Amino acid sequence: MRLSALLGMSSLAAATTALADGEVNIYSYRQPDLIKPVLDAFTEETGIKTNVLFLDKGLVERIQAEGANSPADVIMTVDIARLMEAKDGGVTQPVTDNETINKDVPANFRDPQGEWFGLTTRGRVVYASKERVSEDAITYEELADPKWKGKICIRDGQHSYNIGLFASMITAHGEDYTEKWLTDLKNNLAHKPSGGDRDQAKAILAGECDIALGNTYYVGLMQTNEKEPEQKDWAAAIKILFPNAADRGTHVNISGMALAKNAPNKDNALKLMEFLASGDAQKIYAEQVYEYPVMPGAEPSDVVKAWGPIKPDTLPLSDIAGNRKKASELVDKVGFNEGPET
């Protein structure tokens, strides 16, 4: 764990500081530079200072250990799994009947009990070779089609991004269907699951596979990567296909927020949450991370717009989260990470 003080933000130096007027304390799994612009905008509008504690792991355990004296006011994180982990770990409290937040965050992107709220989404899409794939539309179900045998790349099946997608398949089709689908998908793989999402684009450029599963925002990160310009070549080799655009929509995951259980600056925390849910703040945040605002009609960045429109799956994320354990069990049951049968 490390403490990150941002420009324009004070650090969580002591409990007395945390309890001072005009401040709000954020525990974040999200990198500080990604949330800085939106927090700066909040301070400029309200005069409330933001203090950020960045943790790369153990956020829930940290707040649990701090107990009633925890200075945490707002939790910011990515992935429905992390938000559910916070709720299930008892470190959040409900925000109910808040008209401002509920107006700006659609019901399928917030917890039914008000213990977490989505802010931005990223699609779990298909990266397809521009040279070798003629299709401009696809469904997740079609990934099991034998025509893709030996042509699909993917990261570890137990990674939270894939577990979320597999859980959405269970939610949409049931456990039996998803088990067969996973088996067929596994046997269409070019090799054992490995690497990260960007590695899948690299593999497509290298001709190792024709299509892959990846998150949308990684394409933005590759397209704008000045430190590792070879990643621009990876991005240039692929086109994004938004699965199920003609029917139920593309599976999305979220970045989100929650009110900490013992928030010492609760009023300021709620002001921050209302601000983060607003259309302007969603736009600032989404532009920084190459994601989509959850508010219907809110515009993504020009980089993201260039990929084409996304139609998000309307399945409630809370329902999908409830099937994550089953999805993980199925990954092991079918031996997904062992790769295709020879």
Per domain, the residue ranges of the chain are 15-119+254-297, 121-250+316-338
Least confident of 110-124, 172-186, 290-304: 290-304
**Fold observed for domain 15-119+254-297:** D-Maltodextrin-Binding Protein; domain 2 (3.40.190)
**313 — pLDDT class (breaks 50, 70, 90):** very high
Give tens-digit pLDDT for 34-70: 899 999 999 999 999 999 999 989 999 999 999 999 9
What stretches of 47-176 adopt beta strand conformation (E)?
49-54, 74-78, 92-93, 117-129, 152-153
Closest Cα partner for 340 from 126, 129, 140, 153?
153
Sole residue written with tokens 């945390």: 18
Give tens-digit pLDDT for 237-281: 999 999 999 999 999 999 999 999 999 999 999 999 999 999 889
- Write the DSSP assignment of 87-122 as a string of letters: HHTT-EE---S-HHHHHHS-GGGB-TTSS-EEEEEE
Give tens-digit pLDDT for 130-154: 999 999 999 999 999 999 999 999 9
Q: Which letter, b or e, does each residue of 307-339 get, where b requires 16 or more Cβ atoms within 10 Å of its Cβ?
A: beebbbbebbbbebbebbebbbebbeebebbeb
In 3-state terms, what secondary structure has residue 248?
coil
Note the CATH number of domain 121-250+316-338.
3.40.190.10
Closest Cα partner for 165 from 83, 238, 250, 248?
250
42 - beta bridge partners? none
pLDDT of the residue at 218: 96
Question: What span, in angstroms and rounded, lies between the C-alpha atoms of 272 and 200?
Answer: 37
**214 — pLDDT class (breaks 50, 70, 90):** very high
